[in-house]
Amino acid sequence: MILRKPVMSFNFLGKERTVIVSNLIASGIFFFTGILIIYLKSIGRLGMEDTKSFTEMITNASIYVNQYVGGNIVVNIGFVALVMFVLYTIAKKA
């Protein structure tokens, strides 16, 4: 597989280290993302103001759902049980 091919090797702290293609690609993406974040922050475009309409939509959806099932204790207990089951399943796989 091409992503596992070694690109270069070097000694660090007395151990031989090998850089593979996938690590090199990941480093490039990480570097590009960091530069993009710094640039967006410098021009003032990195912030939560852009997500205001999305946040309002989520809030309105939760209010809509709550008015129909908010007072129903059986539905609330079922939802909590479902969330606990999903978290347990995820933790069990890890």
Q: What is the pLDDT along the chain (94 residues), one digit of tens a residue?
A: 888 999 999 999 999 999 999 999 999 999 999 999 999 889 887 776 667 787 888 888 878 877 877 778 888 888 889 989 999 998 888 6
pTM for the whole structure: 0.48
Q: What's the Cα-to-Cα distance from 20 to each of 15, 31, 34, rounded to whole Å?
A: 16, 17, 21
**pLDDT value at residue 62:** 79
**pLDDT value at residue 50:** 65
**pLDDT value at residue 34:** 96
- Report which DSSP code applies to 2: G
In order, the DSSP letters of 23-40 are HHHHHHHHHHHHHHHHHH
The whole-angstrom separation of Cα 4 and Cα 21 is 6
